[in-house]
């Protein structure tokens, strides 16, 4: 009789009923939303604190450069000395004082200009001041070259290059960053899941070992079944948790949208239209709206289904490989403190995959490093998913690489599960000593 379903069921129920699991599952979305709200609130709080800066302008320039804006307001001092101005600034509790001395030309004024403040001034404030002065300087220099302010304004208009793929589809700047974020999110999700749930599998194995129930169970169940049941049951619990998070996240999002009165349809409006339609329908709309629509559209044109499909494939294979390793580690040691020396080499390739993803794949998704790491089985689940938003086939991941990487992954999976099962089988009935790698290698050679 196959006892695997029984074991999976028990592992699943044991995990799901666990108090910390329940708390984590239902508290996390609330905590997340709470944190986002808190951050939003705090940023807002910071923004509302308007900075007041005193201006002592003795020069004949800078008449309209320092205009009160949302974040900063400028108070002009007149007919007082610098010392008096400093005192007043301090006395009135202003953020700082900008001093523009009386000089014969603008260059000189800029040279001798000072900003006084109580503490070291913030970078944003300095940037703003420097920008204002730079703009004025440039204007002055161009005027000297014979350019009218109007001509200058014309010259300053910004420019965006038009982008199009060879297929003739209109493209937008920055879409690569969005693809990178999506790919990165998938990869990161896999890494987190492996580390968290792999850890659960490991602790569960250690628990069976230390409580000695393993001795009782092992006479009725094959160690391999026990190991696989544990891995599958724990991952189902994990999927349940993620499911609850997604559903509750969606509910909270809908509630949030309702509260802030945002029409969800407006977010996806551009997506449903073909590029041509979007262009003709929105001829008059300004470039910004059009760009937003193009972004949404690009996101909708990502290979969503292919990505989801391969996400599941890579996720399953990657998780099975790593959690078998975790199970073997759990079986090899007597308590959790002994796991450290084995855990690090397991987490290393995961970290490497994430770093390679962020530093190499995003800048060059089809470069040699990206290809190598998306074929190497311990990093491919993460790296390949980071490459997938660029598409499959032409311009994206070549089909042969995808197939090869999955085949290598399956082969590795079989190999690792075989090795892990051997270590597990010997380890679960070994007590009292912390094994070395050499010892583990010896276990592999034990006949069952």
Q: Considering the complex, state which of residue 25 and residue 117 has its C-beta at the smaller distance from other proteins.
A: 25
- Per-residue binding string, other proteins, 301-320, x by CB under 8 A, is --------------------
Residues with Cβ within 8 Å of 343's Cβ and at least 6 positions away in sequence, in order, are 329
Q: How far is CA 329 from CA 291, 339, 368, in A?
A: 51, 7, 33
Shortest Å, Cβ 391 to other proteins: 48
Positions in 214-253 near other proteins (CB under 8 A): 215-221
What are 274's two structure tokens? 């073909």
Can you give 206-225 as a three-state secondary structure string?
HHHHHCCHHHHHCCCCCHHH
Helix or strand holding residue 150 (H, E): helix 149-155
- Interface with other proteins (CB under 8 A), residue total 26
Distance of closest approach, residue 333 Cβ to other proteins, in angstroms: 17
Whose Cβ is closer to other proteins: residue 14's or residue 273's? Answer: 14
Q: Which helix (H) or strand (E) holds 72?
A: strand 72-77
Least spacing, CB of residue 220 vs other proteins, in Å: 4
Binding mask 407-446 for other proteins (x = CB under 8 A): ----------------------x-x----------x--xx
Q: How far is the CB of 319 from other proteins (least distance, A)?
A: 24
* 108 scored as a contact of other proteins (CB under 8 A): no
DSSP calls for 218-262: TTTS-HHHHHHHHHHHHHHHHHHHHHHHHHHHHHHHHHHHHHTT-
Binding window for other proteins (CB under 8 A); candidates: 180-188, 209-217, 275-283, 313-321? 209-217
Q: Please, which of residues 10-29 interact with other proteins by CB under 8 A? A: 10, 14, 18
Minimum distance of other proteins from residue 446's CB (angstroms):
6
CB of 217 to other proteins, least distance (A): 7
Cα 230 to Cα 198: distance, rounded to the nearest angstrom = 11
Asked whether 57 and 100 are in contact (CB, 8 A), the reply is yes
Q: What's the rounded Cα separation, in Å, for the pair 164 and 289?
A: 18
DSSP-derived secondary structure letter, 392: B
- Determine the Cα–Cα distance for residues 71 and 115; give it in Å rounded to an integer: 18
Give the DSSP H or E segment for 389.
Answer: none
Residues 179-208 that bind other proteins (CB under 8 A): 207-208
Point out which span in 4-12, 257-265, 381-389, 399-407 binds other proteins (CB under 8 A).
4-12
Residue with tokens 């920055």: 174
Give the residue with the Cβ less far from other proteins, 30 or 213: 213
Among 78, 150, 157, 212, binds other proteins (CB under 8 A): 212
Which residues are near other proteins by CB under 8 A? 1, 3, 6-7, 10, 14, 18, 207-208, 211-213, 215-221, 429, 431, 442, 445-448
């Amino acid at each position: 009789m196959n006892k695997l379903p029984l074991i999976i069921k028990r592992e699943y129920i044991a995990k799901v009923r666990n108090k910390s699991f329940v708390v984590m599952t239902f508290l996390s979305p609330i905590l997340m939303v709470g944190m986002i709200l808190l951050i939003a609130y705090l940023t807002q709080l910071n923004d509302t604190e308007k900075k007041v800066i005193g201006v002592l302008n003795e020069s004949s320039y800078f008449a309209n450069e320092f205009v009160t804006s949302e974040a900063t307001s400028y108070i002009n001092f007149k007919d007082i000395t610098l010392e008096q101005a400093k005192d007043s600034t301090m006395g009135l509790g202003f953020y700082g004082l900008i001093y523009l001395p009386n000089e014969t030309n603008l260059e000189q004024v800029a040279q001798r200009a000072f900003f006084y403040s109580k503490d070291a001034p913030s970078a944003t404030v300095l940037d703003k001041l420097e920008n204002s002065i730079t703009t004025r300087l440039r204007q002055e220099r161009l005027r000297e070259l014979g350019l009218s302010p109007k001509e200058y304004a014309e010259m300053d208009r910004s420019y965006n290059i038009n982008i199009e793929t060879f297929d003739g589809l209109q493209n937008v700047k920055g879409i690569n960053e969005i693809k990178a974020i999506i790919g990165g999110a998938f990869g990161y999700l896999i890494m987190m899941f492996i580390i968290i749930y792999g850890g659960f599998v490991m602790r569960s194995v250690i628990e069976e070992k230390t409580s000695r129930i393993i001795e009782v169970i092992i006479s009725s169940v094959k160690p391999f079944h026990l190991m696989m049941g544990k891995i599958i049951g724990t991952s189902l619990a994990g999927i349940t948790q993620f499911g609850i998070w997604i559903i509750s996240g969606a509910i909270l999002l809908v509630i949030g949208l309702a509260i802030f009165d945002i029409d969800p349809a407006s977010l996806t409006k551009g997506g449903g239209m073909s590029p041509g339609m979007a262009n003709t329908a929105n001829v008059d709309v300004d470039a910004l709206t059009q760009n937003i629509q193009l972004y949404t559209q690009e996101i909708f044109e990502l290979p969503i289904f292919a990505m989801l499909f391969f996400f599941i494939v890579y996720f399953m294979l990657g998780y099975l490989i790593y959690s078998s390793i975790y199970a073997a580690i759990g079986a090899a040691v007597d308590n959790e403190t002994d796991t450290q020396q084995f855990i690090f080499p397991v987490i290393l390739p995961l970290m490497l995959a994430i770093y390679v993803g962020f530093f190499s794949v995003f800048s060059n998704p089809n470069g040699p490093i990206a290809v190598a790491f998306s074929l190497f089985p311990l990093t491919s689940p993460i790296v390949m998913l980071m490459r997938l938003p660029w598409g499959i086939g032409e311009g994206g991941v070549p089909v042969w690489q995808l197939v090869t990487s999955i085949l290598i992954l399956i082969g590795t999976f079989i190999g690792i599960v075989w090795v892990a099962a051997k270590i597990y089988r010997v380890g679960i009935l070994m007590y009292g000593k912390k094994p070395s790698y050499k010892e583990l290698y010896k276990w592999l050679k034990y006949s069952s």
